[in-house]
Amino acid sequence: CSAVSLPVSGATLQDCVEGLRRRQAVEVGNKRNGLPTGDCVAIHLECFDSDGAKGETRRITVPTQLPCCGGERLLVTAAVHHSGATLASGRFIVIVRSGNGWFRVNGAALERVKSPDDAPEEFSAYFVFARSVAPDRRPLGNGSSLRPSPPLASS
């Protein structure tokens, strides 16, 4: 797909470590922009284990055609499933939150999942890599999906 790279930025090592310990989101995306336009977004995510050791950088891809309810704003997260001795050896899970729903990206499909709070054993840590953006009102296909509008600069 015509992916746009979003390198990790705006988070310190300590932010990542504390986020892992508290199982809270750490914002590592551009604070002024939302999702870029295009079919999908490629994220370069640097990970750290609970001791602060830096893991390898992984590249994951998320489609930007997301389900959305009414005028809800979109928020995309990348989840790290810590199944290995270090985060670098763990498995990446891409999670999308739309309205009150959480979805796992499975190829081009979206599967509804429990929230990270409801399943902490599955979602060991999750990182916000992009700001939410206000969707436009153009329906896609059956009208149940909305494409995010171009990034909006915040004041």
Indicate the DSSP class of residue 90. S
In 24-134, DSSP assigns E strands to 26-27, 40-48, 54-63, 66-67, 74-81, 91-98, 101-106, 109-113, 125-128
Q: Which residues contact 48 (CB under 8 A, 6 or more apart)?
A: 13, 16, 17, 20, 54, 55, 87
- The reported pTM is 0.33
* pLDDT, tens digit (0-9, with 9 covering 90-100), for 45-100: 444 444 444 554 555 555 555 444 333 333 444 444 444 444 444 444 455 555 55
Phi/psi at 18 (5° precision): -65, -35
Handedness of CA 48, 40, 10, 15 (dihedral sign): negative
Residue 141 has pLDDT above 60, yes or no: no
- Dihedral angle computed from the Cα positions of residues 24, 30, 32 and 37, in that order, rounded to the nearest 10 degrees: -110
Q: How many CA atoms lie within 13 A of 151 on its CB side?
A: 17
Backbone dihedral angles phi then psi of residue 88, each to the nearest 5 degrees: -65, -30
The token pair that represents 104 in the structure block: 């796992």
Whole-angstrom Cα distance, residue 57 to residue 54? 9
Q: How far is CA 126 from CA 4, 19, 76, 104, in A?
A: 21, 8, 10, 12
pLDDT at 102: 63
* Segment 91-123, tens digit of pLDDT: 444 555 555 566 665 555 566 766 555 444 444
Q: How far is CA 58 from the centre of its chain?
A: 13
